[in-house]
Structure 1
Amino acid sequence: MERSAVDLKIERELCANGIPFNVLRNPQFQEMVTAIKRAPNDYKAPSSEKARTVLLDECVGDVEKELIPFKDTWYSHGLSIVSDGWINVKYKPLINVLAVNNRGSMFMYAEDFSEILQKEFFWLEDTYNKGKTIVKYFMNHGQALSMFRENSKLELLQVAKTRFASHYILLKRLTLYREALSTTISLNSWRDWAKQGDEQARNAAQTVVNIIRDDNFWNEVENILKITKPIYMVVKFCDGEGLKMGEIYEKMDIMLGEIKYAMELYFSQVKQILLNRWEKMSIPLHCLGFALSPRFYDTRFLETIEPGGEKRTAPNNDKQVVNGVLEAFNRIGENEAERNLLRAPFATFHMKKGLYSLLAAHLDVVTMEAIDGWSTYGAKTPELAEVAKKVLSQPISSSSAERNWSTYSNIHSVKRNRLNCKTADKLVYAHSNIRMISRFSESYKEGPHKK
């Protein structure tokens, strides 16, 4: 009965404040309950004033300490600065800044961008110059990028701002609800609505009826889904977290093969459209990541056939990849001597000489992550191993920055509109980074609080 009484008090707290029941599954909630049980007998909960000032600052400081191991990977694996723009509930333009590598997306801060917008941003018409203006602003004012001027040990791989979109899900849902749509236009309520409207509404209603009853329309939708599903899967792959830089080039080849398999008649035109788009997005870093992924040189992998029926080739036998690798080396090396320190070891790597010729290395390329493989077998080519770990750790899209705005809108919402930008920034910092840290704990993968 005593336990039930406590459970009821917790339930009343959740209901009174509109807190989702899922919070009970959160390990942070269980830690809070355990801490309260161990508290002194005269313990009292902190006041609202203390929670939003002193305790919030202490929480941010505590999170910063836990982030030190993640920041240490910036020196060995490099990082990318990812950003995106947004307007908060007070109509202030914000740009967030995240430091991203293979260990996760670390929220740094969200900065009020209104000053730069008013002075020198609106008159810029092309995206390229807008991007240069944002980077220049960060280099001069941003907390994250300023450290690169002060600490030469850190290496910035890229400043990324990329957006992906797809109508695939909408069309997929249309096919799922085809029967429901057909039922809807047969109802009396639909007919009554169409009759009561003006001529424009009646024409629109008749157009809808004609489309839903048109088998040719649905056949076209099915064909479009067959073609766009491979594109959608690549977009979905890019939007996820984890090691992506070494995979995206291969994913594009697979996508083209799957589209070729789905359609024969107009494949050449579709392929040209996709390749034109890929040329705008592709950078030498993608080619270098592909060429530095050991599993793409595995004999068993090369013996398999790509979707579309084409034979696979090793990255070093692909002219476009090799050109991208050489261009990337030209950008990374400051002089010809440094570039030679990368080109010669690259030949040792793809020709499988030295440590790369060991049987264990041939077996591990299938099971190990590429970065783990370079950390294990890269001792003979330390310069190339260092570059490989940094390149393969980088993200290929800014989806993490866009997801961060969802967190921001949940915290700085219409109901919570009195929060100033500084307090909201601290809350988002603590929330986002606590979640990122939790993903590397064992309890995230196993146990009652899994994910």
Structure 2
Amino acid sequence: MLCVLMGRKGENPNGFFDQLSHPQSTAPLSFVTSLPSPTADRSSRLQQSTASSRGLRRRLQRPLRQSSRAPSVSTIPNRQHRQSPARRRSPPSPLPSRDSSSPSICSIEFEEAIVTASTVENVNSLKRKSDDIGWQYGKLVDPNNKDKVMCNFCKNVNSGGINRFKKHIAQVGGGVAKCKSCPNEAKLACLNWLEGTEKKKQDKVVRELGLRSDVNVSSGGQQEEDLTCAAVAFNAIENDEFKQMVEAIGQFGPGLKPPTQYELREPLLKAEYARTKSLLSDREAEKEKNGCSIMTDAWTDMKSFIKSKDTSAISHTGEVIFELVDNAIEEVGAEHVVQVVTDNASNNMAAKALLLEKRPNIFWSSCATHTINLMLQGIGNIPRFKKIVDQAKGFTIFIYGHHRTLECMRSFTKKREIIRPGVTRFASQFHTLQSLLDKKYSLRKMVVDAKWENIKETSSKKGKEAYDTVLSVRFWNGVEICLKVFEPLVKLLRLVDGDVKPSMGFVYGELLKAKREIKEAFKNEELRYKEVIAIVEKKMRGRLDAPLHLTAYLLNPHYSYADSSIFDNVDITTLITCVEQFYHGCDEDIHDEVVNIEFTKFQRKQGLFGKKMAKNCVNFDYNPG
């Protein structure tokens, strides 16, 4: 058995392995070994190697380390080690050459240790990791077959799983071979286990019958109790599926057995998955006909998308995002993808360049929701608007920070909240300002009432600031101007963030409309609106005024048929750019047909474009709701 391997001080510790592979090498080594006699009994060596197989494997795999001093080794000396001091101080002779065809004693023992260890692992794999008492008296014949169990006592192989095997040990049941070799305690243990299992089944049946007898269909409180105990959200009763389930139960009548957990997890879930997938057939047909968009977003909830990937452990570089998007395009089918939509982060822009290089016919668009949110953020950071927003925030924080002030506010607003959430943080600020303005007179009445003065917290610094804010005329005037500036963009944000109607053809047109309304809010005084409009134009530049957005705006009869001057104001090169990218690699005759023939018909309202339905698009109501 190999005990210690150590290279000489200052030498390569791996020289030992070089010495084994090159026996003719004369490089001196300092090592201490204790090798068994070659004529030792093979079974004895096998027992030794089995007992130390794990430690031996770890020591051989552990890298050898140099030491600044000689190791202290304790071994039982044999005849070869009993030498004179002078002889022990002499350098060791080179290792003798060995026939490569005959394995060394060390290698034989190591191989035997591995074989023995693998045998132990195979035995362990036949033992199930279960608390079922049956596995104490049996084991699997084949780890891949859970139905055949071998008895540890009579070595009989039983088919039918662990439950049938316990009947074999307990010597009960018909059609089951009885074990004649098992001890009495094993028999009693399995018998008690089987009786306990049967009792649980009977108790479950009795309990279910009792539950049915306790149901009172004439009382609405029964349904309330059931929903509460199951932690079902109250708004679930508004789902059509929930109503259909209740109706189906009523039509069946008493005695309906609910599905088991296995049925819910396996067959019923698979059937529902297949049904849901069949409902997407219309979307698949639409995708093949009109194309689709690939959208990406960083989100912690992986339930929000058709497919998600955990990338928390890797850096979100442009190359990584490009690979994710490109794989998604391959999965959907490149011929069906029209555009990729992401936010405006720099890594996404780097991925955009890589995608355009590989797939020049696919558009890469900036997320309109993200861009408009940046506009609101920029405007909200202007000092005159930020001051109003901070005052409103301080007031709401004070109100909701104390239960007595909150109760007081609700008593004056008739239990209506002053905080209203929106699709984004800045949209929430707009809705909260709007809510405050709607309750302006109730709040002003509240802070001058004796009930407010009797609240201890209102005498604090923040309480006095809240009092001054509500009674400030300048604050309410600022709220009104904030709403006039924010409202056009918030309305546009709701439009692009909705999923009821497609909004691509309306983004640029509604942005122009929002800019006009912002100017009107400042009475068209350039000095007052200049800073706000500059932020809007900066954020939309290169994002929401791209050739794809301008072309969609140009080809939308809601705008172009209502004002034909749009054909003169929008550069025709944007249309040509989109056509060249969309039909990249196609024959130039297609480009010519789209730009010079089809677009001319649309512009002059000829053919199908002159039909009443097409002209009625001018009056199309695009209300985001």
Alignment TM class, shorter chain as reference:
0.5 to 0.7
1:262 aligns with 2:521: yes
Structure 2 counterpart of 1:209 = 467
**Pick from 204, 208, 224: which aligns with 2:482?**
224
Deviations along 1:181-238, one digit per CA (max 9) or x if unpaired, are: 32343355655666798xxx52x33333333222112112111212221112111111
SS of 1:19's equivalent in the other structure is: coil
Residues 268 and 57 of structure 1, relative CA distance in 2, 3 Å threshold: same
Q: How far is 1:257 from its partner?
A: 1.7
Q: 1:344 & 1:87 partners in 2: Cα distance?
A: 47
Structure 1 counterpart of 2:98 = none
Structure 1 counterpart of 2:448 = 186
Residues 171 and 336 of structure 1, relative CA distance in 2, 3 Å threshold: same
Question: 2:447·2:467 contact (CA, 8 Å) conserved in 1?
Answer: yes
**Rg larger for:** 2
**Pick from 152, 158, 161: which aligns with 2:340?**
158
Structure 2 counterpart of 1:294 = 557
Residues 186 and 71 of structure 1, relative CA distance in 2, 3 Å threshold: same
**Pick from 329, 338, 350: which aligns with 1:145?**
329
Structure 1 counterpart of 2:578 = 328
Question: 2:294·2:337 contact (CA, 8 Å) conserved in 1?
Answer: no
1:318 aligns with 2:569: yes
Aligned counterparts, 1:103-122, within 5 A: 108-111=306-309, 113=310, 116-121=311-316
Residues 81 and 95 of structure 1, relative CA distance in 2, 3 Å threshold: farther
Amino acid at match of 2:341: V
SS of 2:601's equivalent in the other structure is: coil
Unaligned residue ranges in structure 1 (runs of 5+): 89-93, 98-107, 303-311, 371-398, 400-451
Residues 369 and 137 of structure 1, relative CA distance in 2, 3 Å threshold: farther
Q: How far is 1:138 from its partner?
A: 4.1
Residues 136 and 77 of structure 1, relative CA distance in 2, 3 Å threshold: same
Aligned counterparts, 1:25-104, within 5 A: 25-36=238-249, 44-87=257-300, 94=302, 96-97=304-305
Q: 1:78 & 1:38 partners in 2: Cα distance?
A: 44
Q: 1:368 & 1:175 partners in 2: Cα distance?
A: 36
SS of 1:118's equivalent in the other structure is: coil
Residues 227 and 196 of structure 1, relative CA distance in 2, 3 Å threshold: closer
The two structures have a TM-score, normalised by structure 2, of: 0.45
Residues 334 and 170 of structure 1, relative CA distance in 2, 3 Å threshold: same
Question: 2:433·2:479 contact (CA, 8 Å) conserved in 1?
Answer: yes
Q: 2:574 & 2:489 partners in 1: Cα distance?
A: 23
Q: 1:195 & 1:69 partners in 2: Cα distance?
A: 60
Amino acid at match of 2:313: Q
Q: 1:95 & 1:37 partners in 2: Cα distance?
A: 33
1:133 aligns with 2:315: no
Q: 1:325 & 1:352 partners in 2: Cα distance?
A: 15
Residues 72 and 287 of structure 1, relative CA distance in 2, 3 Å threshold: same
Residues 260 and 181 of structure 1, relative CA distance in 2, 3 Å threshold: same
Residues 41 and 77 of structure 1, relative CA distance in 2, 3 Å threshold: same
**Pick from 589, 596, 610: which aligns with 1:361?**
610
Question: 1:284·1:327 contact (CA, 8 Å) conserved in 2?
Answer: yes
Amino acid at match of 2:584: E
Q: 1:196 & 1:233 partners in 2: Cα distance?
A: 36
Structure 2 counterpart of 1:352 = 601
Structure 2 counterpart of 1:175 = 437
Residues 195 and 269 of structure 1, relative CA distance in 2, 3 Å threshold: closer
Question: 1:211·1:217 contact (CA, 8 Å) conserved in 2?
Answer: yes
Q: How far is 1:16 from its partner?
A: 3.2
Unaligned residue ranges in structure 2 (runs of 5+): 1-214, 344-366, 374-423
Q: How far is 1:47 from its partner?
A: 1.0
Aligned counterparts, 1:2-13, within 5 A: 4-5=217-218, 9-13=222-226
Residues 183 and 152 of structure 1, relative CA distance in 2, 3 Å threshold: closer
Q: 2:518 & 2:608 partners in 1: Cα distance?
A: 37
Q: 1:344 & 1:319 partners in 2: Cα distance?
A: 20
Amino acid at match of 1:65: S
Q: 1:369 & 1:12 partners in 2: Cα distance?
A: 54
What value does the CA root-mean-square deviation take over the aligned residues?
A: 3.6
Residues 109 and 205 of structure 1, relative CA distance in 2, 3 Å threshold: same
SS of 1:84's equivalent in the other structure is: coil
Question: 2:519·2:529 contact (CA, 8 Å) conserved in 1?
Answer: yes
Structure 1 counterpart of 2:493 = 235
User: More deviation in 216-225 or 350-359?
Assistant: 350-359
Structure with higher RCO (Cα < 8 A, 6+ apart): 1
SS of 1:86's equivalent in the other structure is: coil
SS of 1:233's equivalent in the other structure is: helix
**Pick from 515, 535, 547: which aligns with 1:284?**
547
1:14 aligns with 2:227: yes
SS of 1:80's equivalent in the other structure is: strand
Q: 1:159 & 1:255 partners in 2: Cα distance?
A: 23
**Pick from 233, 238, 250: which aligns with 2:509?**
250
Q: 1:369 & 1:61 partners in 2: Cα distance?
A: 42
SS of 2:341's equivalent in the other structure is: strand
Residues 19 and 270 of structure 1, relative CA distance in 2, 3 Å threshold: same
Structure 1 counterpart of 2:23 = none
Deviations along 1:373-411, one digit per CA (max 9) or x if unpaired, are: xxxxxxxxxxxxxxxxxxxxxxxxxx9xxxxxxxxxxxx
Q: 1:71 & 1:359 partners in 2: Cα distance?
A: 27
Amino acid at match of 2:300: I
Residues 195 and 220 of structure 1, relative CA distance in 2, 3 Å threshold: closer
Q: How far is 1:355 from its partner?
A: 10
